[in-house]
C-alpha cells in the first residue's frame, strides 16, 4: 500500500513537471512570435522618444553620402499631427550636421483598435541627396543617377520585416506567396495633393502591389529650403503583419 502511494506521488510529480514544461514552452513560443512585432513597432514609432527610427534610416539612405561621411550626420524623425507646411530642416552644429525629418502616422481609424494595429503609412518629409551633398560641401560627389526613391525605401521596409520574421514564418510565407511588387512612385506636384495622397496598396490574387506618392522640390542654391522629397512610406510593422497573416492563409 505504501509502495502504491509512493508510485502515485511520483506519477503526479511527473505530470506536474510535464505540464509546467509545456506551459513554459508556450510562453517562449508566444514571446518569440510577439518580439518581432514589438521591435518593428518601436522602429516605426518610439512613443517615449516621439520619433521614428525607420525614418532616420530612410533619411540616411536618401542622403546617398559615402559611409565615412554619414558619421557627421545626425537625423531626428519628428512627429507632426497636422498637414501644415513643416519643411525638413538641416543645421550646421559645427562638429556635425543635424537633420529634422518630419513625419505623420496614417492610421485606419481613431479608436483603440487602430492604435494597436500597424499604421497604414508613414508620411515623411525628407531632405534630398543633392541638397545634403551641397550643404556638406561634397557636391562633386553627388551622382544623380544613383538617387534613391520612396520606392527604394519601401522595398527596404519589406526586406527588414521579412528578415525580422521567424524562420518558420518565412518558410510558410515563401511556400504560399510570390512576394510583393513595388511600383514606381506616383509623382504629385503640390503640398495639398501630397497631404491628400496615401500609400496605395492593392492585392491581385496573392500578390501585393505597393505604390508610394512622392513630392519633390528640386534643390536650388537660391532657396535653401528647397531640395526636399516627401514620401508615403510602408511601415515595417505593417509589412510584417502581411508576412505573418499571409503565411497562415490556406
Grid cell for residue 175: 511556400
- pLDDT (tens digit per residue) in 187-227: 999 999 999 999 999 998 888 999 999 999 999 888 877 89
Confidence label for 90 from pLDDT (cuts 50, 70 and 90): very high
Whether pLDDT at 136 is above 50? yes
Q: How many CB atoms lie within 10 A of CB 209?
A: 13
Would you report the helix, strand and coil content of the chain in percent, each value rounded to 5? 50, 25, 30
Query: Of 248, 87, 119, nearest to 177 (Cα)?
Result: 248
Cross-strand pairs, 127? 228
DSSP string covering 135-187, please? HTT-GGG--GGG---HHHHHHHHHHHHHHHS-HHHHHHHHHH---EEEPPPEE
So what's the pLDDT on residue 69? 86
Whether pLDDT at 43 is above 70? yes
First-to-last alpha carbon distance for the chain, in angstroms, is 55
Whether pLDDT at 20 is above 70? no
Dihedral pair phi/psi, residue 106, rounded to 5°: -105, 120
So what's the pLDDT on residue 196? 94
More confident residue, 1 or 71: 71
Dihedral pair phi/psi, residue 20, rounded to 5°: -65, -40
Distance CA 211, CA 234 (A): 9
Q: Identify the top-confidence range among 19-33, 72-86, 97-111, 189-203.
A: 189-203
Whether pLDDT at 2 is above 60? no
Amino acid at each position: 500500500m505504501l509502495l502504491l502511494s509512493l508510485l502515485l506521488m511520483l506519477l503526479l510529480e511527473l505530470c506536474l513537471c510535464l505540464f509546467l514544461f509545456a506551459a513554459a514552452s508556450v510562453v517562449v513560443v508566444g514571446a518569440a512570435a510577439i518580439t518581432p512585432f514589438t521591435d518593428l513597432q518601436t522602429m516605426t514609432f518610439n512613443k517615449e522618444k516621439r520619433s521614428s527610427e525607420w525614418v532616420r534610416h530612410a533619411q540616411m539612405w536618401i542622403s546617398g553620402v559615402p559611409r565615412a561621411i554619414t558619421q557627421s550626420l545626425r537625423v531626428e524623425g519628428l512627429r507632426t499631427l497636422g498637414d501644415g507646411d513643416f519643411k525638413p530642416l538641416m543645421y550646421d552644429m559645427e562638429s556635425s550636421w543635424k537633420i529634422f525629418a518630419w513625419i505623420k502616422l496614417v492610421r485606419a481609424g481613431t479608436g483603440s483598435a487602430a492604435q494597436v494595429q500597424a499604421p497604414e503609412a508613414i508620411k515623411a518629409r525628407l531632405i534630398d541627396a543633392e541638397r545634403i551633398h551641397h550643404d556638406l560641401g561634397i557636391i562633386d560627389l553627388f551622382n544623380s543617377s544613383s538617387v534613391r526613391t520612396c520606392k527604394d525605401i519601401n522595398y527596404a521596409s519589406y526586406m527588414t520585416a521579412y528578415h525580422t520574421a521567424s524562420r518558420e514564418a518565412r518558410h510558410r510565407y515563401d511556400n504560399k506567396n510570390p512576394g510583393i511588387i513595388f511600383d514606381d512612385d506616383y509623382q504629385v506636384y503640390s503640398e495639398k495633393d501630397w497631404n491628400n495622397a496615401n500609400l496605395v496598396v492593392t492585392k491581385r490574387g496573392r500578390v501585393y502591389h505597393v505604390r508610394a506618392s512622392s513630392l519633390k522640390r528640386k534643390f536650388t542654391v537660391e532657396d535653401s529650403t528647397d531640395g526636399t522629397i516627401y514620401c508615403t512610406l510602408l511601415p515595417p510593422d505593417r509589412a510584417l503583419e502581411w508576412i505573418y497573416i499571409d503565411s497562415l492563409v490556406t
